[in-house]
Structure 1
């Protein structure tokens, strides 16, 4: 579709008259539409971008087109991934204009366009991809910083220059809540930004600053049609499959561009006018709201459910299965979770981030009487090649991994406090350690399970959140949102691969959210349900599963999980039983239960 030329005319008395607006990513297609509509409504606009020449060229074109001068449309260089660059740019804006009334967080990048198993984690992997013909220019970490980091960094700096009535508008994408093939590094940071926006609205609301979120749908352009066509090819589907999937989610038919009424994509103008409303005083009562500009796409905000039963373990049989537990600072909880998997008959490979923790955990496990079914190693998610080597070594020495539990690296009290007051180090840790680390873990296991495709059962994985930090769980909420989207993309890509014969066994998993429960039973309850996901081969469609605030009230049970005396699985491992009259009746039932408990059973009958 040809690019339409705007016919907007600047208006002195428009809805944004007298307001100072900063628009990030302003030189792009959507950013340019937002800038034009803001100028037309009377705002003074500062366009920001990483490349000064490109930003200034875009501004000059708009000035000439709309007849505004540099006093109404200025530019400033800003690299959103560099906190100091952001602080310098915002200081420049305040020096020139005195304040900021509106911030539109529109900047972002496309991220590497690769399936999960091929995502580049470091520069060497990116270079290898480029040598093979890829046009990707970012690693996973760089994409996270350029998509989510820029919104966080600019909001931190701009909030200090905003007063009552200020408006922050975060531009996300509806794809952060839907499957979106081979775009993990784009949609996972956007999902984190969704939760960030909500938390920031709670934080800045008392200061009179409102924060709202815009979810554009697929925006009408040649680019989106090219993106969808590429996805069809990468997936192995017929042309038009991806576009039709999104059309099917829409409820609105509309005439656009002089065409007949039909299901089509929203336009850049639709997004820009929504941003005008949110920047104006017409939206003075809106804070923490989501605005979906999608032609009525049916997309849930969160695919969630809450556990309403305790995790009975009586039918659990992990014999012959092995579980990886990738943990960080919470190695003590990881040991407790490992013991429950072992009690179900599974072997456990416990991977910890630091070698010092490995030594301590090994000593603790030995003191508690752990046997050879527990192996503890260093497993650092910042070292993807070492993780893959460790899994292969364990598989060669012992057995193949059939399930995985992923825990956060940082403990619940390590990242706390207001988002606008976060240090550069905390922002970097959250993005590089937790977010990029989770994607690195997912990539490692996806690759591993593609190589080892003849497992006793289809692979299963579970992400666990931290327990509550007691201070609002702000960072946990952002990681929860990012993880849900990661799980969604991983599931879909795996299923598509199986459909097209690229892998034999589909990977399936969930996320268990723990921070809403402060009870002592939290760990055992969570571990029990994680075991059922990993060892029972069931598929729970809801991505995110919440531990209830009160386990007793929700489940009607006094205990979070049956004690080991009630759990027969693993109770008689290594024992041999001889049962006479065991072909039927009581003898047959006893034989079955002893076999479930891990014993070797011989039945004798006439």
Structure 2
């Protein structure tokens, strides 16, 4: 944490981070769903800024181990850890192990998620619960357990949402609803946890190239998406990661309860 005093803030002093040069030196960051895609990109970026990163994964141990190796190769510190974010007992076990191994948690990035894109006539109750159990309940369970292990100086919680929370497209009704719930939960918990020095924000990525979307942004759909993106290309995990670093670090010490779009300027593409 910065050593800037409250009186210095009140007098308008610049709130500059202190430390050995890396924004997250000495911090422990937990990233769920970090074996590939946006989660992996965020994990690497946090590691590059000095955080010890817990790379959470559900099934892809090889992917998580690869992310760990890339962080270590860049001079950082990381460990892979398996967890089913939709199961309360497993989430409790996971965070207890993080606490036992690393002490306090300073940053939580909720990224583990699941999507089924189907029209309402084809959606099942099972598909509904699969998405809400991981995308909403999983975030809630992670936050509930993580805050038990934040230190007295607080920390940062970052929920990875989606632009579909505000601009849903065809066949995305349930997935978009889960992300709308995430954004609402973000604002509510920012109010609740602010007095404890814990900031809560969400990132809303746009159309981002990941293994999960491989081959998806093609044909007429891809053309429409690209045409509606002012910056003229689809996103990459490396485009989202710097926003997470900002929210995890003291650079964002006065930012909480916000939903930050990282989508190349795309808004309301009609399709």
TM tier, smaller: 0.7 to 0.9
CA contact (8 A) 1:148 1:189 kept: yes
Equivalent residue number for residue 180 of structure 2:
191
How far apart, in 2, do the equivalents of 1:266 and 1:80 lie? 26
The match for 1:171 among 130, 150, 160 is 160
After superposition, the Cα gap between the structure-2 partners of 1:193 and 1:65, relative to the gap in structure 1 and judged at 3 Å, is closer
Whether 2:60 is the aligned partner of 1:81: answer no
Deviation at 1:79, TM superposition (A): 1.1
Higher relative contact order (CA 8 A, sep 6+): 2
CA contact (8 A) 2:28 2:51 kept: yes
Q: Give RMSD over aligned pairs.
A: 2.4
Whether 2:35 is the aligned partner of 1:33: answer no
The match for 1:251 among 230, 236, 246 is 230
The match for 1:159 among 147, 162, 172 is 147
Equivalent residue number for residue 63 of structure 2:
58
Equivalent residue number for residue 11 of structure 2:
none
How far apart, in 2, do the equivalents of 1:221 and 1:32 lie? 10
Deviation at 1:228, TM superposition (A): 4.1
CA contact (8 A) 1:165 1:284 kept: no
What whole-Å deviation, never above 9, does each CA across 1:229-288 have from its counterpart, x for those lacking one?
Answer: 4xxxxxxxxx32x33443444333xxxxxxxxxx11222111011101111111111111
Aligned residues: 250
Deviation at 1:157, TM superposition (A): 0.7
Worse overlay, 12-21 or 87-96: 12-21
Equivalent residue number for residue 30 of structure 2:
22
How far apart, in 2, do the equivalents of 1:91 and 1:186 lie? 30
After superposition, the Cα gap between the structure-2 partners of 1:83 and 1:223, relative to the gap in structure 1 and judged at 3 Å, is closer
What whole-Å deviation, never above 9, does each CA across 1:111-145 have from its counterpart, x for those lacking one?
Answer: 3x3211111224xxxxxxxxxxxxxxxx2112210
The match for 1:205 among 181, 190, 194 is 194
How far apart, in 2, do the equivalents of 1:120 and 1:95 lie? 40
What does 1:231-246 correspond to in 2, within 5 Å?
239-240=219-220, 242-246=221-225
Give 3-state SS (helix, strand or coil) of 2:257's partner.
coil
Alignment gaps of 5+ in structure 1:
1-11, 123-138, 230-238, 253-262, 300-491, 497-606
How far apart, in 2, do the equivalents of 1:152 and 1:118 lie? 28
How far apart, in 2, do the equivalents of 1:285 and 1:105 lie? 20
Give 3-state SS (helix, strand or coil) of 1:285's partner.
coil
Give 3-state SS (helix, strand or coil) of 2:215's partner.
helix
Equivalent residue number for residue 118 of structure 2:
114
Equivalent residue number for residue 237 of structure 2:
268
What does 1:487-566 correspond to in 2, within 5 Å?
none
Equivalent residue number for residue 281 of structure 1:
250
After superposition, the Cα gap between the structure-2 partners of 1:214 and 1:17, relative to the gap in structure 1 and judged at 3 Å, is same
Deviation at 1:36, TM superposition (A): 1.1
How far apart, in 1, do the equivalents of 2:242 and 2:134 lie? 25
Whether 2:109 is the aligned partner of 1:104: answer yes
TM-score by length of structure 2 reads: 0.84
After superposition, the Cα gap between the structure-2 partners of 1:212 and 1:185, relative to the gap in structure 1 and judged at 3 Å, is same
Equivalent residue number for residue 98 of structure 2:
93
How far apart, in 1, do the equivalents of 2:187 and 2:135 lie? 17
How far apart, in 2, do the equivalents of 1:87 and 1:64 lie? 26
How far apart, in 2, do the equivalents of 1:181 and 1:228 lie? 14
The match for 1:140 among 103, 115, 128 is 128
CA contact (8 A) 1:59 1:73 kept: no
Give 3-state SS (helix, strand or coil) of 1:190's partner.
helix
What whole-Å deviation, never above 9, does each CA across 1:463-501 have from its counterpart, x for those lacking one?
Answer: xxxxxxxxxxxxxxxxxxxxxxxxxxxxx9xxx9xxxxx
Whether 2:251 is the aligned partner of 1:293: answer no
Give 3-state SS (helix, strand or coil) of 1:211's partner.
strand
Deviation at 1:60, TM superposition (A): 2.9
Structure ID, larger Rg: 1
